[in-house]
Amino acid sequence: MTDQKAGLLQGTLDMLILKALSLGPLHGYGVIQRIRQMSEELLVVEQGALYPALYRIEQKGWVSSKWGVNETGRNARFYKLTRAGRKQLALEESSWDLLALAIGKIRQAT
């Protein structure tokens, strides 16, 4: 693999956030770190993209949030996946599986 980081496709950020939060509540920076970890450092989500997405998916009811103290003792907003968020994640993962299958078939076509 090259040193290039994979770019995020349009519409994938919500699914990545939901997947990160499916493993447990996190503050914003924790979401960024978990996505990096799960992608083995191939995906990097910028704070400027993350926080508007968190706000948007909270408005949709897919996550809830509350203030708490992070590991460094600072106040931080912690996000938690809701039941609606788990359903949405399942829908988005299913769509991605189908898309990946279709792209794989197209790539293998001769």
Where exactly are the structural domains of the chain?
13-108
**CATH class of domain segment(s) 13-108:** mainly alpha
26-27 β-sheet, strand order: 26-27, 75-81, 63-69
pLDDT digits (tens, 9 = 90+) for 50-59: 999 999 999 9
3-state secondary structure of 75: strand
Residues 65, 79 contacting (CB under 8 angstroms): yes
The per-residue pLDDT for 15 is 95
pTM of whole model > 0.95? Answer: no
- Check pLDDT > 60 for residue 106: yes
pLDDT digits (tens, 9 = 90+) for 60-100: 999 999 999 998 999 999 999 999 999 999 999 999 999 99
Mean pLDDT for the stretch of residues 35-59: 94
